Amino acid sequence: MKATPLQSYNQSEISLIQDALRIYMGSVPITAARIILTDYIKVMKKGNQVQLDGMGMEHIYYALLVKSNKMASASESSHLEVQEVRKMAQEIRKKRIHFQQTFYKTYMLNEDYRSNSI
């Protein structure tokens, strides 16, 4: 199950997310960077119509936090710009939580509690 969490973002916000993912890939171990790379490619190809799972949304959330921290430490970024990036990160986080709760409820309703699937 996937969601389109970036649907409400314009092209400049999508570019910011792409930049954040690119920067974030360089700050994690190579095995994690490979997984993040798949989400980066999806965002590059599909833009705001990209379909992501919970892990992809989590990657974007952490990427935006890393980007905002780097912006905060740089003197050329204003406090308002940093706050906007952090606000975007929180929006993505809320969408991920909603997505996962909805998916879990749907899964549990469809799963027969008497089955031996676990």
d(CA 107, CA 35): 25
Other Cβ atoms within 10 Å of 36 Cβ, number: 21
What three-state secondary structure class fits 116?
A: coil
Burial of 47: CB neighbours in 10 Å, binned 0-12, 13-18, 19+: middle
Condensed to tens digits (0 to 9), the pLDDT of residues 10-23 reads 999 999 999 999 99
Condensed to tens digits (0 to 9), the pLDDT of residues 24-39 reads 999 999 999 999 999 9
- Residue 118 clears pLDDT 60, i.e. is over it: no
